[in-house]
Amino acid sequence: MSQQESTPKDDSMLKAEFNGGLSEAELKRRVLALAEPADQALKDTLTSHVPFIEEVSDYIVFSGGKRLRPVLYLLAASAAGGQGEARQAAIFEFLHAATLLHDDVVDEAGLRRGRPAARTKYGNDAVILVGDFLFSKSYSLAAEVADHRFISALTDCTTIMAEGQVLELLHTGDLQLSRQGYLDIIVSKTAVLIAAACQMGAIHAGAADEVVASLYDYGMELGIAFQMVDDALDYVGSEHEFGKPVGHDLAEGKITLPFIQVRDQAPTEAAEHLLELARTIPQDPEVIPEAKELVRVHGGVEHTFEQAKSHALAAQKALAPLLNRDDLSQDLETLLALAPYVITRRN
């Protein structure tokens, strides 16, 4: 699956077109109101006759998190004219948690959401197996929905996610990763699950195919924007804000858009110095701050935020087929407002 990088728009144009119309406080209130039933559904469905599985699952699932994916599922179902079930909303948090468990093993991560990663507490073998359990639990919940499109969408999503994990592994340390290669990875690893949450919400609502497609496109663009902001914050955020070490992408050999922009567009001397620093990092991580500063000074972070804004705007535009009435529903209003919020968030 591929996405073409959008042409950046200037801030004034973006501000004019970003018409979410909600204050940040009101947006957060609405999201929290939907996150509560999603949390309860997680508690109700996260059961196993093996107590250790519940312990490890609880550690990752209830370690914080914004419940973005379950909330989007519920919002999409309502915006499509139906009603999503909180029980099925748990699917998306279970899948997200499973990928975090597996990613932390691959990355040898020490911190997740501001506390020790599950692998440091329970060991790699345990968290891999519990991640598999959470994947299975997601399918069990999906099988409860009669519409065959529902579990078919989940199957497509998880297949692409697995491909994304392999793609990222294959390109670890690949200093020549292309922009398209980067986009393929973030679409597969992050955006497709957000897109599926919106798509499956619409399917559960019994929506027509064109509405399902619109909400899928919204989620895809929102997910790309979300990951691009994450990648930018890794160069400028703090560990306190992020809940995990920043500058970690370079340490792990993950090449993201801020790096790619400077490598390809900065003056030759700066680009070559960045590549030299990146080659040095595996032996001398002390050069990471210098590499991050080089990326910031030469506009890599700014460019990434601009690209994220373009995708967030595309997410809003994807909802156009649903905006065919004078009285904008609260759920559509919330979906619209989430797009600019994804850009301005700091964690």
Predicted pLDDT at 117: 84
Cα–Cα dist 102/93, whole Å = 14
Give the pLDDT of residue 6.
43
Count of C-beta atoms within a 10 Å radius of residue 155: 13
State the Cα angle at 142 between 315 and 124, rounded to 5°: 90
- pLDDT for residue 12: 38
Beta-bridge mates of residue 115 = 112
Q: Looking at the chain, how many residues does it have?
A: 347
Contacts of 159 (CB under 8 A, 6+ apart): none
What is the number of other CB atoms lying within 10 angstroms of the CB of residue 159?
12
* CATH class of the 21-344 domain in this structure: mainly alpha
Query: 86 is written with which tokens?
Result: 């909180």
Other CB atoms closer than 10 Å to residue 38's CB: what's the count? 22
Digit-by-digit pLDDT tens for the chain (347 residues) are 445 444 333 443 334 345 457 888 899 999 999 999 988 999 999 999 999 999 999 888 887 667 899 999 999 999 999 987 899 999 999 999 999 899 888 877 777 766 888 888 889 999 999 999 999 999 999 999 999 999 999 999 999 999 999 999 999 999 999 999 999 999 999 999 999 999 999 999 999 999 999 999 999 999 999 999 999 999 987 655 555 556 688 988 999 999 999 999 999 999 999 999 999 999 999 999 999 999 999 999 999 999 999 999 999 999 998 987 555 688 999 999 999 999 987 66
Residue 301 is inside which H or E element, if any? helix 300-318
Residue 301 to residue 305: CA distance in whole angstroms: 6
Q: Which of 166, 230, 241, 170 is nearest to 194 (CA)?
A: 230
**Boundaries of every domain in the chain:** 21-344
Show the tokens assigned to 210: 């064109």
Q: Which long-range contacts (CB under 8 A, 24 or more apart) does 233-239 make?
A: 233/346, 233/347, 234/258, 235/292, 235/295, 235/296, 235/300, 235/301, 236/296, 236/301, 237/346, 237/347, 239/111
pLDDT at 114: 67
DSSP, collapsed to helix, strand or coil, labels residue 115 as: strand
